[in-house]
């Protein structure tokens, strides 16, 4: 029986020399692989009373939309600054070389709503932490963060767990 890892393509030296890029587009393109990933991502959270699924730009939109559909719940995007059309709140976070900003519509979540944050990859945890802060600013409760891939050497899981987050990843790869 195939696992999620069997559907993920590795591309050496992308986008820079020494990086092993884990390409999930091959997973998304395969109907069985995509189904396995969605089922495994949502499984720990089934029956937890999730109100909304929040997807982090950009591959988190693909996963989050599919998970929201499976749970019959709404989907909320967190996007890069300047991409959402209505009034937003924003959160800055640190990148390897600089800073970035993500936003959410200021009416996307209601106080007390329970949300699941979804993305394809957990590296340093900066984007996910910014997403958690945005959800919490709107009064929502983040019940967990789900990812296809964890890169544990980059410390994202530890960062999110230090925020008392439940972190679920389908597979892990050593290195960057």
Domain-located, residue 26: no
| Tokens coding 122 | 């957990």
Catalytic residue among 59, 103, 113, 157: 59
Residue 96 is among the residues annotated as catalytic for this protein: yes
In a domain, 2, yes or no: no
With respect to residue 119, please indicate whether it lies within any of the assigned structural domains. Answer: yes
CB distance 171 to 4 below 8 Å: yes
The reported pLDDT for the residue numbered 176 is 63
In a domain, 151, yes or no: yes
Q: What is the mean pLDDT of residues 128-144?
A: 98
What's the structural domain count of the chain?
A: 1
Q: Do residues 40 and 6 lie in contact, with contact meaning Cβ atoms separated by under 8 Å?
A: no
> CATH number of the domain that 75 lies in?
3.40.50.2020
pLDDT single digits (tens) 43-78:
999 999 999 999 999 999 999 999 999 999 999 999
Band (pLDDT 50/70/90 cuts) for residue 124 is: very high
Of the residues 5, 22, 96, 141, only one is catalytic, namely 96
Q: Is residue 114 part of a domain?
A: yes
- Predicted confidence (pLDDT) at residue 12 exceeds the cutoff of 90: yes
Classify residue 42: in a domain, yes or no.
no
Asked if the structure places residue 10 within a domain, the reply is no
Contacts of 44 (CB under 8 A, 6+ apart): 144, 146, 166, 168
Q: What is the pLDDT confidence band of residue 95, given thresholds at 50, 70 and 90?
A: confident
Backbone angles phi, psi at 36, to 5 degrees: -60, -45
Percent of the chain with pLDDT over 70: 99
pLDDT at residue 98, as a whole number = 81
Residue 16 lies in a domain: no
Q: Domain residues for 128? A: 48-172
Separation CA 166–CA 176 (nearest Å): 22
What mean pLDDT comes out for the span 9-13? Answer: 96
């Amino acid at each position: 029986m195939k696992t999620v890892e069997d559907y993920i393509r590795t591309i050496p030296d992308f986008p820079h020399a020494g990086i092993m890029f884990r390409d999930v587009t091959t997973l998304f393109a395969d109907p069985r692989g995509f189904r396995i990933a969605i089922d495994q991502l949502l499984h720990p959270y089934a029956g937890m009373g999730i109100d909304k699924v929040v997807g982090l730009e950009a591959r988190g939109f693909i996963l989050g939309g599919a998970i929201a559909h499976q749970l019959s719940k709404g989907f909320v995007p967190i996007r890069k600054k300047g991409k959402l059309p209505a009034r937003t709140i924003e959160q800055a976070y640190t990148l390897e070389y600089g800073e970035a900003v993500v936003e959410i519509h200021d009416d996307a979540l209601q106080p007390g709503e329970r949300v699941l944050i979804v993305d394809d990859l957990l590296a340093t945890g900066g984007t996910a932490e910014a997403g958690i802060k945005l959800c919490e600013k709107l009064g929502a409760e983040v019940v967990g963060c789900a990812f296809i891939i964890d890169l544990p050497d980059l410390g994202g899981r530890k960062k999110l767990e230090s925020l008392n987050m439940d972190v679920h990843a389908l597979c892990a790869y050593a290195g960057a």
